[in-house]
Amino acid sequence: MESPAFGPFQSEVFYKECCYHMSHKFKLAVGTTALAIISIVGLRDTGVFVQDHNTTLYSGSELKFAVEEQANIVDSNDRGYIVQKGNAKVTVPKEKILVTESKPQYYTVKKNAILKKDGKVVRNLFIGETLQTVKHYPNTVAVNTEDGLFGSVENKFIEPIEGPHMTPAKVKQNLKLENANGVYQLAKNQSVNVVSYKDGLFIILDEEGKDFQIDPNYLDFGEGGVKAVQRAVIQKQAPVKKIAEPVAIAPKVDGAKAQQVIDSAFSKMGSPYVWGATGDGGYDCSGLVYAIYVNELGISLPRTSSAQSQVGAQVDRSQLQPGDLIFFNTMGKGVSHVGIYIGDDTFIHANSGSGRVKQNKLSEKYYNSRFVNATRVL
């Protein structure tokens, strides 16, 4: 099972692990869309300034915000966040603030409900389904579903998934971060979740919710994204170790086992998507992998997609072979979905949006932008 997923449904929320086993500093019920995720800010959100900001009020007085000062966000518009300080409210460019706390970005469906748009039924919503917040209203929430649909649902049918606000960013190069929490190995272009900014460093979370500090120079928030000021205090932190760029050559695939995997995956095409299942009436995405690789082939693998992504030899995307496992960040919060690569840019996975096991192309815009890594276990 995995974290909730957005886009052609990859919602495998495993509550113990799903969204993030948080460290003692951060508590999160569930675990992040890659850079494409819509991050909606509601009233009374909180952030931290990553750049100084000065502005002149209508009265002629100057209002100043310093780096690492708390930002009390009351609204947002096309020009930036509307921040309140004292009685004054001013607009601050979004690149100067990292949002750290916000209204729930995600909800889970607690009772069978109906998704509506303009008064018309879009489709039924099912218990356990994860929804992405677009906008809050008094009695409803406008949401995106994991299969890319938009509409509104009544508050009484859903419950918020609480936790710190996570802002997705991509790592610019291969890195190895180390602190008392352990080691966090990062690959170039890997998506990470940024939750805070302190002492000139961003704080990110790994797949288990452990926090690590990283120099802003190593993160890319995309066009119009956060841009932190560089500060000398960074030098006081544990050094960030750079890993050599060349990707290690993965071992050769066992062709016979790969064919077994492909044949088994094809035999399960059309099977229903069932959250938490490994073949008893259906599969979730990591359950499909577990059923084939563990139950049928006897290969040792953990149960969830985030844990599965750490097992086996890492494979460069350009070197994918049939039988490799490919992982996606569909929630902006680390690995949350897994598929079985079968060759020709195609993979088979249990897709909660369509409610069945199906094929998709890795080059499709949704999956291409959310690809995290691939492993070889055969």
Q: What is the pTM of this model?
A: 0.47
Q: Which helix (H) or strand (E) holds 256?
A: helix 255-267
Q: Over the stretch 82-104, which tens digit does the pLDDT of each residue have?
A: 999 999 999 999 999 999 887 76
pLDDT score of 195 more than 80 = yes
Same domain, residue pair 156 and 174: no
Same domain, residue pair 147 and 171: no
Q: Over the stretch 305-332, which tens digit does the pLDDT of each residue have?
A: 888 998 999 898 889 999 999 999 877 6
pLDDT of residue 163: 63
Same domain, residue pair 336 and 223: no
Same domain, residue pair 347 and 279: yes
State percent of the chain over pLDDT 90: 42
Q: Is 136 a catalytic residue?
A: no
- Which of 161, 193, 225 is where one domain is finished? 161
Q: Over the stretch 96-144, which tens digit does the pLDDT of each residue have?
A: 999 988 776 778 888 989 999 999 999 999 887 888 888 888 899 999 8
Is 58 domain-assigned?
Answer: no
- Which of 242, 268, 301 is where one domain is finished? 242
What total number of domains does the chain contain? 3
Contact 86, 60 (CB under 8 A): no
Contact 198, 25 (CB under 8 A): no
Is 284 domain-assigned?
Answer: yes
123 SS3 class: strand
Using CA atoms, how far apart are residues 301 and 87, in angstroms rounded to an integer? 56
Q: Which domain holds residue 238?
A: 167-242
**Domain holding 129: CATH number?**
2.30.30.40
Q: Could you tell me which residue, 240 or 349, shows the higher pLDDT?
A: 349
Q: Over the stretch 275-288, which tens digit does the pLDDT of each residue have?
A: 788 988 899 999 99
Query: First-to-last CA distance in the chain?
Result: 21
Contact 132, 38 (CB under 8 A): yes
Q: Is 285 a catalytic residue?
A: yes
* Active-site annotation holder among 18, 53, 165, 349: 349
Q: Is 53 a catalytic residue?
A: no
Is 75 domain-assigned?
Answer: no
pLDDT of residue 164: 67
Assign residue 229 a region: left if phi > 0, alpha if psi is -120 to 50, beta otherwise?
A: beta
Name beta bridge partners: 304: none
Average pLDDT, the chain: 80
Same domain, residue pair 195 and 269: no
Same domain, residue pair 186 and 156: no
**Domain holding 316: CATH number?**
3.90.1720.10
Is 324 domain-assigned?
Answer: yes
Using CA atoms, how far apart are residues 143 and 125, in angstroms rounded to an integer? 11
